[in-house]
């Protein structure tokens, strides 16, 4: 077998065997991992299961000309882990389903699997099952993750109350700036370190599992969401689910320095990237004022990840952006259809 062979040359069974070989021995909670009809997990006492699934479709979510396949594999798992992080759940296992064009090279298949398994290792998310089928069209990578959390610690979108303050992790707009830089044809080696960080965020977003777990366990947050579709969408989702309104302070949104620099060079608006660009996969939390001190104390254990207050929830419905004295409607995030 040579890596320049296509996956069609190799066939489904050989591909599955190849995937299986790359999977390390699973942690103890996996009673039965890959290789049987289904996987078996031991439940954690006193915890509930948290499940989510998401797929990346070629030419909808990524282009092979722009994004290396190891990054596609990494990101397919990352976006799912980000959802677990938002709920305050720990990851327990992942399932992978692939639809592959027959012309895909075995070396490309290997790269995609290695990208996914790298994050699986770092995040202690064992891959316990997989399915591979041929696609007559685009490459599709579909991941399901299983998490678990204590029942009363699970964070949803709907628990926010009027007066709660909104806090966001990290820096925003980086992913959109990174994508814009790639689309402009900027050569990777020429990117300065800030912009390279933006491209890295677009390709390999870091799911905020630790921050999500710590926030949930601190019992200081009333609602949370991960920012897959931008800050504006996240705020709107929390406000809608919590049946309140919200105001975001334009001047307080933490715009990534690389996004700011690339925006200046291309006459773009980095705030728009932060609000609507999406794919930063940071977390947004609602925190009651009386819990602010405990919440901020808990964030000290986030291993250097910063947190910024960006607005608050209001009794009056409607979601607004405050620029100076003016209130304007907060635009929506990235819309898939
Ligand atoms: Mg989400």
- Digit-coded pLDDT (tens) for 117-163: 999 999 999 999 989 999 999 999 999 999 999 999 999 999 999 99
For residue 129, the CA-to-ligand 1 centroid distance in Å is: 23
Mean pLDDT throughout 2-31? 92
In the predicted structure, residue 239 carries a pLDDT above the cut 80 = yes
Helix (H, G, I), strand (E, B) or coil at 327: strand
In a 3-state reduction of DSSP, which class is residue 171? coil
User: Does residue 329 have a pLDDT over 80?
Assistant: yes
| C-alpha 14 – ligand 1 centre gap (Å) | 34
**What distance in angstroms lies between residue 101's CA and the mean position of ligand 1's atoms?**
28
* CA of residue 135 to ligand 1 center, whole Å: 27
Distance of CA 314 from the midpoint of ligand 1 (Å): 23
Q: What is the mean pLDDT of the chain?
A: 94
pTM: 0.95
- Separation of alpha carbons 230 and 173, rounded Å: 8
Cα(217) to centroid(ligand 1), Å: 19
Ligand 1 geometric centre to CA of 169 (Å)? 14
Q: What's the rounded mean pLDDT across residues 169-192?
A: 87
C-alpha distance across the termini of the chain, in Å: 41
CB distance 188 to 66 below 8 Å: no
pLDDT of amino acid 264: 92
Q: What's the angle, vertex CA 199, arms to CA 180 and CA 61, rounded to 5?
A: 65
235 token code pair: 């705020």
Span from the CA of 171 to the centroid of ligand 1 (angstroms) = 17
pLDDT digits (tens, 9 = 90+) for 212-234: 999 999 999 999 999 999 999 99
Q: Are 245 and 239 spatial neighbours (Cβ–Cβ below 8 Å)?
A: yes
Ligand 1 center to residue 83 CA distance, Å? 5
* Per-chain residues with Cβ under 5 A from ion ligand 1: 83, 226, 228
Q: What are phi and psi of 334, to 5 degrees?
A: -65, 130
pLDDT at residue 157, as a whole number: 98
Cα 336 to ligand 1 centroid, rounded to whole Å: 14
In this model, does residue 180 exceed pLDDT 70? yes
Q: How far apart are CA 171 and CA 307, in angstroms?
A: 9
| Cα–Cα dist 111/72, whole Å | 9
pLDDT (0 to 100) of residue 206: 96
* Ligand 1 centroid distance, CA of 224 (Å): 9
Distance 326 CA to ligand 1 centre (A): 30
pLDDT at 332: 62
Q: Which residues of 152-171 are buried (b: 16+ CB within 10 A; e: fewer)?
A: ebbbbbebbeeebbbbbbbb
CA 25 – ligand 1 centroid, Å:
29
pLDDT attached to residue 4: 82
Residue among 33, 36, 155 nearest 92 (CA) = 33
Tokens of 165: 């303050």
Provide the 8-state DSSP code for 62: B
| Alpha helices per DSSP H over 269-335 | 270-272, 292-299
Q: With CA atoms as reference, report the closest residue to 7 among 140, 115, 98, 105.
A: 105
pLDDT higher than threshold 90 for residue 191: no
Phi–psi pair at 137, nearest 5 degrees: -130, -120
Q: How far apart are CA 28 and CA 4, in angstroms?
A: 37
Statement: residue 334 has pLDDT above 60: no
Going from the Cα of 315 to the center of ligand 1, the distance in angstroms, rounded, reads 25
Residue 48 Cα to ligand 1 middle (Å)? 19
Ligand 1: distance of its center to the CA of 106 in Å? 32
For 249-306, the pLDDT digits (tens) are 999 999 999 999 999 999 999 999 999 999 999 999 999 999 999 999 999 999 899 9
Integer Cα distance of 72 and 55 in angstroms: 11
If you measure from the C-alpha of residue 279 to the centroid of ligand 1, how many angstroms do you get, rounded to a whole number? 10
The Cα diameter of the chain in Å comes to: 67
Sign for the pseudo-dihedral over CA of 213, 216, 217, 221 = positive
pLDDT at 336 over 60: no
Strand partners, 167: 285, 309
Between CA 93 and CA 29 the distance in angstroms is 9
CA of 230 to the centre of ligand 1 (A): 11
Query: Of the given ranges (3-7, 76-80, 158-162), which has the lowest mean pLDDT?
Result: 3-7
């Amino acid at each position: 077998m040579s890596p320049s062979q296509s996956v069609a040359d190799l066939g489904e069974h050989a591909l599955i065997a190849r995937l299986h070989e790359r999977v390390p021995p699973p942690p103890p909670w996996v009673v039965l991992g890959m290789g049987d009809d289904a996987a078996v997990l031991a439940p954690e006492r006193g915890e509930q299961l948290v499940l989510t699934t998401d797929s990346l479709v070629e030419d909808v979510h990524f282009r092979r000309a722009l994004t290396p396949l190891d990054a596609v594999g990494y990101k397919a798992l990352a976006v799912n882990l980000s959802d677990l992080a938002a709920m305050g759940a720990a990851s327990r296992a992942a399932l992978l389903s692939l639809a592959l064009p027959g012309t895909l090279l075995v070396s490309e298949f290997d790269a995609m699997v290695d990208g996914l398994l790298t994050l699986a290792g770092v995040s202690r998310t064992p891959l316990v099952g997989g399915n591979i089928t041929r696609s007559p069209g685009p490459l599709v990578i579909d991941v399901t993750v299983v998490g678990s959390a204590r029942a009363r610690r699970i964070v949803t979108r709907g628990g926010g109350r009027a007066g709660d303050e909104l806090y966001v992790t990290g820096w925003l707009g980086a992913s959109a700036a990174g994508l814009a830089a790639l689309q402009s044809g900027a050569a990777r080696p020429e990117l300065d370190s800030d912009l390279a960080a933006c491209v890295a965020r677009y390709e390999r977003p870091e799911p905020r599992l630790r921050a999500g777990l710590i926030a949930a366990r601190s019992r200081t947050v009333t609602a949370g969401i991960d920012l897959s579709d931008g800050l504006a969408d996240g705020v709107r989702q929390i406000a809608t689910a919590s049946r309140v309104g919200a105001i975001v302070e334009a001047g307080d949104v933490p715009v990534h320095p690389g996004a700011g620099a690339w925006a200046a060079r291309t006459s773009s608006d980095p705030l728009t990237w932060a609000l609507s660009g999406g794919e930063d996969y940071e977390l947004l939390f609602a925190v009651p004022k009386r819990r602010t001190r405990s919440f901020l104390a808990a964030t000290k254990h986030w291993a250097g990840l910063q947190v910024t207050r960006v607005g608050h929830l209001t009794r009056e419905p409607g979601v607004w952006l405050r620029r100076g004295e003016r209130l304007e409607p907060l635009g929506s995030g990235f819309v898939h259809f």
